[in-house]
Amino acid sequence: MKTLSENRAFGGVQGVYSHASTACGCDMTFGLFLPEEAEREPVPVVWYLSGLTCTHENAMVKAGAQKWAATEGVALVFPDTSPRGEGVANDAAYDLGQGAGFYVNATEKPWAPHFRMWDYVTEELPRLLFSAFPVDEARQAITGHSMGGHGALTIAMSFPGRFRSVSAFAPIANPTASDWGRKQFAAYLGKDEAKWAAHDATLLMKKRGFDGPILIDQGASDQFLDLLKPEALAEAMMARRQNGAFRMQKGYDHSYFFVSTFMEDHIGFHASALYA
């Protein structure tokens, strides 16, 4: 692992690190904020998964999360959204290829050799994180925006007991019924739609739900509402009587202005579960 940068922030340290990834077959970069408390003992961690076109850096510099993480004494980890580099497959469209890993393990050419973001985020990066930094594996939460909200929800529901809470900002809520999902799942996973269901938050909510609290914020003026399909997930949460809240925020769009506005709520929500 290489240290690319470390900057003092809100009494803690915002670092950026790179390492050779076996899962993705390339070098991967991630950000990690450690609050001041980490100098004395392991601290809880909140995973933040970013959306289409993003790298580790977008949320790290735009979401305003470090201030609230420092206040609550929690770490934040910002993975990249896809493999990158020479020899890694890509596409001219912004919503496929590099920057659009969709947090799945690709099985189809040309994506299969590198696009294994499910394994990277759920297995490889956690092993590295918990072995190299003072973060508490027993106290994890996860959140994300858009494609990252999709990833946060599907991962949380697929690993019962790992995460104490999950939240999302404008998640791609029903990708098997959306062009933000059907296109990518067909490319990465093949045409058998039965294989897609494991990566659809609405279908997972109907099947198993989440064993902790959920918080979802959705901008009512989001320009991508037809692609996100929030109503499908809201209905599934209601039908399951899921412990959680789904909030429509009047006037807000899909941008990081929206995310940063409600970041304090989300960090506080996770801190309550992590320190319970």
Q: How confident is the model at residue 96 (pLDDT cuts 50, 70, 90)?
A: very high
Average pLDDT, the chain: 98
Section 216-240 average pLDDT: 98
**Phi, psi dihedral angles at 235 (to 5 degrees):** -65, -40
Share of the chain above pLDDT 90, in %: 100
CA atoms within 13 A on the CB side of 267: 22
The model's pLDDT over 41-64, given as tens digits with 9 standing for 90+, comes to 999 999 999 999 999 999 999 999
pLDDT of residue 177: 98
Section 253-273 average pLDDT: 98
261, with CB counted inside 10 A (0-12, 13-18, 19+), is middle
Cα(256)–Cα(100) distance, integer angstroms: 18
Share of the chain above pLDDT 70, in %: 100
pLDDT of residue 131: 98
Q: Which two tokens stand for residue 16?
A: 């950026």
Phi-psi region of 46 (alpha: psi -120 to 50; beta: other; left: phi over 0): beta
The model's pLDDT over 192-201, given as tens digits with 9 standing for 90+, comes to 999 999 999 9
Cis peptide before 110 (omega within 30 of 0): yes
Is pTM beyond 0.95? Reply is yes
Q: How confident is the model at residue 66 (pLDDT cuts 50, 70, 90)?
A: very high
Cα(67)–Cα(172) distance, integer angstroms: 27
pLDDT of residue 46: 99
User: How far lies 174's CA from each of 107, 116, 180, 274, in Å?
Assistant: 21, 21, 9, 28
Active site residues: 146, 222, 254
Q: How confident is the model at residue 76 (pLDDT cuts 50, 70, 90)?
A: very high
Chain position carrying tokens 């990249």: 80
The model's pLDDT over 138-180, given as tens digits with 9 standing for 90+, comes to 999 999 999 999 999 999 999 999 999 999 999 999 999 999 9
